[in-house]
Amino acid sequence: MEKERCDWATGSERLLTYHDKQWGVPEHDERQLFKMLTLEIFQAGLAWDTVLRFEAGITAAFHDFQLEEISQFSTTEREMLYLDKRLIRNHAKIDATIENAKVLVQLHQSGESLDHLVWSTFSEAPIDLHGTMTDPKEIKQFTKAICQQMKGLGFMRVGPTTCYSFLQSIGVVNDHNLSCFRYAELVDKKAEPVTAQLFALYIKLQVS
């Protein structure tokens, strides 16, 4: 019997694999978190399948997301990336990746982490929204706190849509449809479900 999936997952083999193996799995590894943030930044204005097609090239060009190495890229190395065909050659996104690596290195030096920054903002537990949030205004309010924190630290290109996609990808938000086989596999059975009433209260608190 064919497994039921989120509609977007059937667009290509790349999307199917990403959906079934990675999307929405709670992630705490610092380098992987930075990688996913970077890929979401590169996605802006593009289809996710396009980003997955370039994933291996982006990973190689950015030295497997070794933060210290990226943060020390010279002007020449940066300009070489602008011409690197393995990448989505958007100068602003490349610049953001390098600058974000510098911010994250500084964060580590202060004893903090991207993992703690992101997960502590959402009470350290996945939030079960199962694809119900589609209104841009709701997304903006939901991501308000994390966007403000990240921008305040100096992270670049971390607007509401990018931040929300990042939260989906690393499992802070479980946005698999209720009918999707991955929803049941990833839902936190120990946690209280986020009901519509609780979520409405959360948004209200964010606005106030």
Catalytic residues: 18, 40, 48
Q: State how far the Cα of 50 lies from the Cα of 154, in Å rounded to an integer.
A: 27
Collapsing DSSP to helix, strand or coil, 66 comes out as: coil
Q: 165: which 2 tokens? A: 């996609």
Candidates 113, 95, 91, 92; CA nearest to 104 is: 113
* Torsion, Cα of 12, 188, 204, 200 (10° steps): 80
Q: Do residues 151 and 117 make contact, with C-beta atoms less than 8 angstroms apart?
A: no
DSSP-assigned beta bridge partners for residue 173: 127
Q: Do residues 183 and 130 make contact, with C-beta atoms less than 8 angstroms apart?
A: yes
Residue 32's identity, in one-letter code, is Q
Q: What Å distances lie between residue 94 and 53, 58, 79, 173, CA to CA?
A: 17, 10, 10, 26
- Quick one: how many helices (H) and strands (E) in the chain? 12, 2
Query: Assign residue 55 a region: left if phi > 0, alpha if psi is -120 to 50, beta otherwise?
Result: alpha
